[in-house]
Amino acid sequence: MTESKTKPNQPLTLDRPAWYRIEIQGQLDESWSANFGGMTFSTRTNPGDGKITTLQGIVADQASLHGILNSIRDLGLPLLKVNFLSTIESKLKGD
């Protein structure tokens, strides 16, 4: 049996930055980036679902993540997915 060379992801904490991917139903363009902590935006069309916007980037901490989610709610856009991708430490180390 061979041992994996991939190191486990660093633990997620409430007060540290991490990479997230958030999907919402509807369309937002890059002009909204500053309102969402500088995250990058991409939009695709899903047959039957219409436009889906994906926000991806570093979120400063869990409080900031909740602020982003509150902003999405305030815009009346349905939240489809929130994915934790990695901690900043893992991303910088290439894990």
Please state the domain extents for the chain: 18-93
Say if residues 71 and 35 touch (Cβ distance below 8 Å): yes
Q: Give the C-alpha separation, 17 to 70, whole Å.
A: 18
Which CATH number is associated with domain 18-93? 3.30.70
Whether 24 has a pLDDT exceeding 70, the answer reads: yes
Name the most confidently modeled range: 3-7, 30-34, 78-82: 78-82
pTM of the model: 0.81
Where does the pLDDT of residue 90 fall: very low under 50, low under 70, confident under 90, or very high at 90 and above? Answer: low
Q: What is the mean pLDDT of residues 15-34?
A: 92
Q: What is the mean pLDDT of residues 62-86?
A: 96
- Give the pair of three-digit tokens for residue 6: 């991939």
